[in-house]
Amino acid sequence: MATFDEAGVFDLRECADRPPLRVGDKWSGAVLRCLEDGPHRFTALKARLRGVNAKVLTETLRAMERDRWLTRTDHGGNPPHVEYALTGTGRSLIGVLDTACAWAREHQAN
Amino acid sequence: MATFDEAGVFDLRECADRPPLRVGDKWSGAVLRCLEDGPHRFTALKARLRGVNAKVLTETLRAMERDRWLTRTDHGGNPPHVEYALTGTGRSLIGVLDTACAWAREHQAN
DNA sequence: CAGTATCCTAGGAGATACTG
DNA sequence: CAGTATCTCCTAGGATACTG
């Protein structure tokens, strides 16, 4: 817990009162970053996020869609063509991410 | 994942480059809040953090101490008297927490 | 008071294989 | 291409009991 190593999670449970914010899964932050420069397709995301497998990426994307951080647009056809794009909410979250990242850079001893 | 419910965790894995920030355990954020107004003893913390058990609180505190977010001062004697206090680093983290909390308040639909 | 010591469980996450 | 379906593993975190 509370380390600066491998896994990066930031706990906001006690922010103000209930219900608190959760962006705590392993890949949401990375997805936010990947979509920062515009919409991307499933496979493109999977490629940029080195290490995710389809199942986990799907779960992450579905959750983010449900929370209105991104939209999923199925352009139909075969082979399929699906695009993911940030919403305004999703985009605004990146600012929070940046704040925290700045803090990390500043306070990371090594 | 990526919800606004019960559990509050904020993923910073992809912040800048490696190694990323981790404040992601369940109680660190709450401990930060509890110590905001000054040092507290183990039992006092445990009481304010409704729901932690001693084992988990100890783990959390040890990790935060290792990361220099707080200090542990054993005043000795019997019964024991141990105090936990935020460091400057720990205190500065609260600002980040606040940023994220403000975001949550602003974007929480319900 | 301030912890250890044990045991146990839920679920996040990965590997692998398959499909419309 | 964009996913499902399974199975398995790991560990954060909780319950309970005990101690210097």
| Tokens coding A20 | 């608190």
- Per-residue confidence at A23, pLDDT binned at 50, 70, 90? low
Half-sphere exposure of A37 toward its Cβ, with a 13 Å CA cutoff?
5
Phi/psi at B71 (5° precision): -115, 150
Nearest CA in chain A to B88: A107
Could you tell me which residue, B97 or A66, shows the higher pLDDT?
A66
Cα separation, B20 vs A4, in Å, equals 6
pLDDT (tens digit, 9 = 90+) per residue, A67-108? 899 999 999 999 999 999 999 999 998 888 888 878 877 776
Q: How far is A79 from chain B (nearest CA, A)?
A: 28
Cα separation, B7 vs A87, in Å, equals 23
Residue B21, pLDDT > 50, answer: no
Query: What is the model's pLDDT at position A77?
Result: 93
- Per-residue confidence at B108, pLDDT binned at 50, 70, 90? low
| Tokens coding A30 | 């990375």
Compute the residue count for chain B.
Answer: 110
Which residues from chain A sit within 8 angstroms of residue B7, using beta carbons? Answer: 13, 20, 22, 24
Residue A84 has what DSSP assignment?
E
CB-based contact B4:A18 (threshold 8 Å): no
pTM of structure: 0.83
Separation of A87 CA and C7 C1' (Å)? 45
Query: What is the model's pLDDT at position A88?
Result: 96
SS (H, E, C) A22-55: CECCCCHHHHHHHHCCCCEEHHHHHHHCCCCCHH
Cα separation, A21 vs A15, in Å, equals 8
Which residues from chain B sit within 8 angstroms of residue A100, using beta carbons? Answer: 10, 12, 15, 21, 96, 99-100
In this structure, the number of other CB atoms found within 10 A of the CB of residue A76 comes to: 8
CB-based contact A21:B8 (threshold 8 Å): yes
Does the CB of B44 sit below 7 A from strand C?
Answer: yes
pLDDT (tens digit, 9 = 90+) per residue, A45-59? 999 988 899 999 999
Helix (H) or strand (E) holding A92: helix A88-107
* A64/B1 Cβ within 8 A: yes
The alpha-carbon radius of gyration of chain A (Å, integer) is 15
Peptide bond into A80 cis (omega under 30): no
